[in-house]
Amino acid sequence: MGNHLKLAYRNVFRYKRRTFITLLTVTFGLTMLIITMSVLEGVDKQSIFNIINSQTSHLVIFKTGYYEKKDDLPLNWTIKDPHHIQVLLKEIPAVQMSESRICFGASLIKGMDELPCLGVALEPELDPQVFNIKESLLKGSWLDPAEEKMLIGTGLAKDMGLSVGDYVTLRMVTSSKEEEFSWNAVDLEIKGIFDTGNPTVDTQWVFLPLKQAQEALSLDNEVTEIVIRLNSNHDQEIAKARDQIKEMFISQNKNLEVFSWADLVSMFLAISKVKTEKSSLIILVLLFIAAVGIINTMLMAVMERTREIGMLSAMGMRRTEITRLFIYEGGIIGVFGSLLGCILGGLASWILEIKGMPIDSMGEAAIKVTSAIYPVKNVIYADLSLEFLVIAFVLGTVISVISSFYPAAKAARLSPIKALRHI
Amino acid sequence: MSLVKLVDISKVYQTNDVEFPALKEVSLVVEKGEFLSIAGPSGSGKTTLLNIIGCLDHSTGGTVFLEDTDISLKKSKELAEIRRYNIGFIFQTFNLIPVLTAFENVEFPLMLKGNMKPKEQRPLVEEILTEVGLKDLMQRKPSEMSGGQQQRVAIARALVKKPKLVLADEPTANLDSQTGEEILELMAQLNRKTNTTFIFSTHDQMVMDFGRRLIRLKDGKIESDEKREKGR
C-alpha cells in the first residue's frame, strides 16, 4: 500500500498546473460550504439569541387556551394574580427570574400619522433580569413603574420621526373581536429608544410599565403572560424546566400552560430549516462541479498514461491495484483540496465571526430579505465550529475518492497489449 | 522439461468483418537458459508470438505450456499472476515509470511480488543496477537519463525479480547502433551469468547475430529455426 501511495502521490504532482486547477475546484466548493454553514449557524444562533433575549425569554406561561388565540392578542384569557405564580416559580431551581407581561394590540398616533404596533406592558424592576431591552437603550432612560411613559424601537422612531421627549398617543385595542371591538387611548411621553437587533421588536413593539397598562386596559392584577428566564440556554434544560413547571401546574390544578421559546417561533424555525436545506442544495451543486473536475482530470491522466498502465499491467500489476492507484490519486487531490478548503473556509468564517458581515452593505433588498426571515439586523456574525471543518474535509475527500472510481475502473479495464500499443 | 512449449499456435485478429491471421500453427520449444532471437519483417507475427509467450494475449488455437503448465485457457487474472512472478519485459520504448527514480523503477517489480521487506530489496536492487553499470545514477529519474541508460534500467527491472523468462520486443530499435550493441552485450552477459532465458524480437541483422538461436518468421509461420555458433 505504501508504495502504491508513493507512486500515486508522485503522479498527482506530475502535472502540477492541472492538479492545481482541479484542487482549486475542490477547495472553492469546500470554502463556500464552510462559509455557508458557518454563516447560517451564526445567523441561527444570533436569531435565537435575539428571540430569547428580546422577544420570548426561555419559557412563557399562558392561561390554558390562550396559545391558540395568541395572534388575536385576546385580553379576556388572562392569568389572575400572577404574583402568586411567580412565587411558586421561585421554588424551581432552574428558574432564574420571572416577569408578568401584557401583550395587546395597539397603534401609535402622532398628528396625522398612525402605525399599528404591539404593546407590551412589563415590570420595569424585573424586566432587565429577563430581557436585554434596558441594555439596548440607545437614547433616553429606562422605565419607571409609576411613570406614564413608554419606550419605542429605532425602527418605529425612524418611521414616525419620533425622538425622546416627544408625546404620542397610544391607542390600545381592549377587545379585538369584531362584535365587541373597543379601544382606549393614552398620551405617553417617549422615555427611551431601544435597538435590540431584533427587527420585529425594534419596528413593531412598544414597552410601557405594567401598572399603567393595567389601568388603561382595565385589567386589575391580571396579565396575559408570565415570561421566565432560566439558568441554562440548553434545549434539554429548557425542556426539562418546562416539563417540571407543567407538572407543577397539573399537580396544583392550575389552569395554565407553559411553552418554550421554540414553541412560540415554530414558523421561524421551520423557515430556517428550509433555508438551510436550500443552501445545502447550492453547495451540492458546487461539490458536483468539483467532482466533475476530478473525473475529467483523472480521465485525462488515464488517457495520457495509457502506455504506462499497459506496462504496469504487463509487469503483473493486478486490476485491483491499478484501480487503487487511481483512486489514491483522486483521494490525494481530495485531501489536499479539502485541506486548503478547510483552511480558507475556516479563515474566512473566523474573520466573519470576529468582524461580522454588515447587512447594510448588501443593500436595501438584502436587509429586507434577511430581516423577513431572520430576527437579526445590522451585522451578521458567522459561527464556525470544528464539526463543520470535519464534515467539509470528509465530504471533500469522499467525493474526490468516489469521483475517481470511474476513471480508475477505465484504467484497470485496459488490455495490456492495446495499452502498450497506444501512441 | 522445456521452459516454453508452443503447439500449433494460431492467432487471428478480427477487425470488423475482416479476419487477419497473425500466426499460423506455430510450434516451438524453448529450453531454459536460451538466448533466442525471433526475426522477421513487420507483420510477420514477432510481437504477437512474444505476447502469447509473455502471457499478455491468448492464442485463438493451439496450446501454450510454461514449464508443463497449460496456460492457453487461463483467465486474464491468472495470466497477470504468472507475469508478476515469472516474466520480465523489456520494451522498445523503455516504458519506465517517469515519476520514479532508477532505483525505484527497479524496486517496483519486487514490491509487486510482495514477498520481501524493503530492507531485503535494497541490496538486490543495488546489485543489479551496479551490474548494468548504473551504480552512480540510481537516484536519477528517467527524464535525466539517456536512452541507453533507460534501457539498462529496464533490463535491471526485468531481471531483479529473478524471472524464468525475459521477453524483449525490439529492445534496440530506439537506440543508436553502438548503444544497441552494448545493450545486447549486457543482455547476453546476464543470460550467461544468471542462466535466465531471453527471447527477443528484431528485424535488425546485428541483433539477430547476437542470438545463439535464431527463428525467422514469415507471414505468421516459422520459416527457419537455426542454432548459431557465432551467437553470444
Averaged pLDDT of chain A: 89
Average pLDDT over residues A74-84: 89
Instruction: Determine whether the interchain pair B97/A308 forms a contact, defined as Cβ–Cβ distance below 8 Å.
Output: yes
- The x, y and z cell numbers of residue A87, run together, are 412565587
What is the Cα gyration radius of chain A? 31
The half-sphere exposure of A138 on its side-chain side, counting CA atoms within 13 A, is: 13
- The residue ranking higher by pLDDT, A277 or A371, is A277
As a whole number of angstroms, the distance between CA A386 and CA B197 comes to 61
pLDDT of residue B183: 87
Burial (CB < 10 A; 0-12, 13-18, 19+), residue A218, is exposed
CA A167 to chain centre: 37
Instruction: Determine whether the interchain pair B84/A316 forms a contact, defined as Cβ–Cβ distance below 8 Å.
Output: yes
pLDDT of residue B163: 93
Residues of chain B short of pLDDT 70, as ranges, are 230-232
Q: Which residue among B93, B99, B112 sits closest to A317, beta carbon to beta carbon?
A: B112
pLDDT of residue B230: 65
Is A313 in CB contact (< 8 Å) with chain B? Answer: yes
Average pLDDT over residues A250-273: 87
Q: Which residue among B51, B98, B112 sits closest to A316, beta carbon to beta carbon?
A: B112
Residues A145/A210, Cβ–Cβ less than 8 Å: yes
Q: Which residue among A3, A14, A307 sits closest to B111, beta carbon to beta carbon?
A: A3
Site of grid cell 484497470 = A412
Average pLDDT over residues A339-344: 96
Phi, psi of A384 (to 5 degrees): -90, 135
As a whole number of angstroms, the distance between CA A388 and CA A379 comes to 22
Is B80 in CB contact (< 8 Å) with chain A? Answer: yes
Instruction: Determine whether the interchain pair A316/B85 forms a contact, defined as Cβ–Cβ distance below 8 Å.
Output: yes
- For the whole model, what pTM was predicted? 0.79
As a whole number of angstroms, the distance between CA B39 and CA B26 comes to 14
Instruction: Determine whether the interchain pair A10/B99 forms a contact, defined as Cβ–Cβ distance below 8 Å.
Output: yes
% chain A with pLDDT above 70: 96
Instruction: Determine whether the interchain pair A311/B89 forms a contact, defined as Cβ–Cβ distance below 8 Å.
Output: yes
Confidence of residue A179 (pLDDT cuts 50, 70, 90): low
Q: Which residue among B56, B99, B108 sits closest to A314, beta carbon to beta carbon?
A: B56
Average pLDDT over residues A370-386: 80
As a whole number of angstroms, the distance between CA A146 and CA A124 comes to 10
Using DSSP's 3-state secondary structure scheme, residue B34 falls into: coil
Instruction: Determine whether the interchain pair A11/B99 forms a contact, defined as Cβ–Cβ distance below 8 Å.
Output: yes
Domain B4-227 has CATH 3.40.50.300: yes
In this complex, how many residue pairs, one in chain A and one in chain B, have their CB atoms less than 8 Å apart?
Answer: 58
Is B141 in CB contact (< 8 Å) with chain A? Answer: no
* Beta bridge mates, A372: none
pLDDT of residue A173: 79
All residues of chain A having their beta carbon less than 8 Å from the beta carbon of residue B99 are: 7, 10-11, 14
pLDDT of residue B232: 64
Phi, psi of A139 (to 5 degrees): -135, 155
- Cα distances (angstroms) measured from residue A199 to each of A34, A324, A371, B92: 27, 55, 6, 77
The half-sphere exposure of A364 on its side-chain side, counting CA atoms within 13 A, is: 0
Q: Which of A56, A47, A34, A38 is nearest to A272 (CA)?
A: A47
pLDDT of residue A176: 55
pLDDT of residue A369: 67
Burial (CB < 10 A; 0-12, 13-18, 19+), residue A28, is buried
pLDDT of residue A175: 60
pLDDT of residue B143: 94
* Helix H or strand E encompassing A150: strand A149-153
pLDDT of residue A1: 59
B139-193 pLDDT, tens digit per residue, is 999 999 999 999 999 999 999 999 999 999 988 888 888 888 888 888 898 899 9
Q: Which residue among B77, B98, B109 sits closest to A315, beta carbon to beta carbon?
A: B109
- Å between A30 CA and nearest CA of chain B: 30
Is A318 in CB contact (< 8 Å) with chain B? Answer: yes
Q: What angle do CA A133, A136, A139 make, to 5 degrees?
A: 110
- The x, y and z cell numbers of residue A327, run together, are 483512486
- Å between A311 CA and nearest CA of chain B: 7
Q: Where are the domains of chain B?
A: 4-227
Torsion of the alpha carbons at A79, A67, A195 and A44, rounded to the nearest 10: 140
Is B116 in CB contact (< 8 Å) with chain A? Answer: no
Instruction: Determine whether the interchain pair B98/A317 forms a contact, defined as Cβ–Cβ distance below 8 Å.
Output: no
